[in-house]
Structure 1
Amino acid sequence: MNASVSIKVVLFDLGNVLVDLGDRSELNTMLNASGNEAEIWLKWLHSPLVKRFDSGLISFEEFAENMVEDVPSLGSVDEFKTRFSNWPKGLYCGALNLVKSVKPQYHRAILSNTNEAHWSRLMSEMKLAGAFQSYFASHQMGLVKPDKEIYLKVVSSLGVMPEEILFIDDNRVNVEAARNIGIIAHQVKGVNQSKAVLQQYHIV
């Protein structure tokens, strides 16, 4: 595909792309909600409390206290903190190999809505530290997807044109927001779908 000539950056989301978040039952419980997976994730992305936490505006303790107050069935604050910390199950099989298979002429980067409770696990336990050349974590940037500002910040920081970035994310709303500023973006879930998109652009 000719588009591969202009692409300079491969931008990965983490949850449900490289990192296994399990089935939606955990998310349903935390939001005290039901519905299909897309609806549940949209509710999570649009939660003001989640947005403040993922933006780094409130601490893990404050987030947990508010969650337990909103959804008493979550148990105590400490029980919720343990449960939430363990939510990411680990990398999907083959995730690191996929990242390493990206051809060396492409800049590898992460753009993830994440938080202080998960970031250290992602970097150390899951060995994502050093696998990428740029890391854009929402809680460190003070911005979250799908807000336009986070994409503009990433583009500016990378020093490239939006159309020189290939972005893969599991949430349609995040993909559409990226496309709205000119980023080439695809909705995927898991390693196999991610690999298929990268192969489509001859990036692996």
Structure 2
Amino acid sequence: MAKSNSDSLKKELSPEECEALLRVLKERFENNMHRHKGFEWANVQAKLEAKPDKLWSLREMERTDGEPDVVAYGEETNDIIFCDCSQESPKGRRSVCYDREALESRKKHKPENNAIDMATAMGIELLTENQYRSLQKLQNFDMKTSSWVQTPSDIRELGGAIFCDYRYGHVFVYHNGAESYYGARGFRGSLRV
């Protein structure tokens, strides 16, 4: 499903790309019903077809190895919520620092990008700590990697950022300098449709 970077710059999918993506999403949906009990694929597909910009964002999640899937329903907003469900933090989004300020603060060995800008460009949002914990109730993720999560402003103002992983049967929340980056740390995103 990987596409070149030039393909990812256009924010509209061709009919063939839409069809291919919907096939992948449907198969994942049907193979992981424990993530979305009570949902029907026909309803999900109808919502997706009505919002082609969301399909583009889902394709970006897929292109960066996020393996997006339906994980919740927003009753107040009538939204279906997709989240990255790759077993480990998405490979195409690792080795990034937290945000642009952190990236610009590095004098040497800058990473190629940062989590906040990447998520924004993809049309998704980093998970909050609570969303990350909810995702872990569906199945265990990040048992070898970790993922940046939305950082409270008071922590970020002091130069820090937070990330999570799952070890020893528990979700752990850690802190690091926002400018840090590691090959085993990326970020998970969510998308409301």
Q: Which has the higher helix share?
A: 1
TM-score, length-scaled by structure 1: 0.27
Q: Which has the higher strand share?
A: 2
| Greater relative contact order, per chain length (Cα 8 Å cut-off, separation 6+) | 1
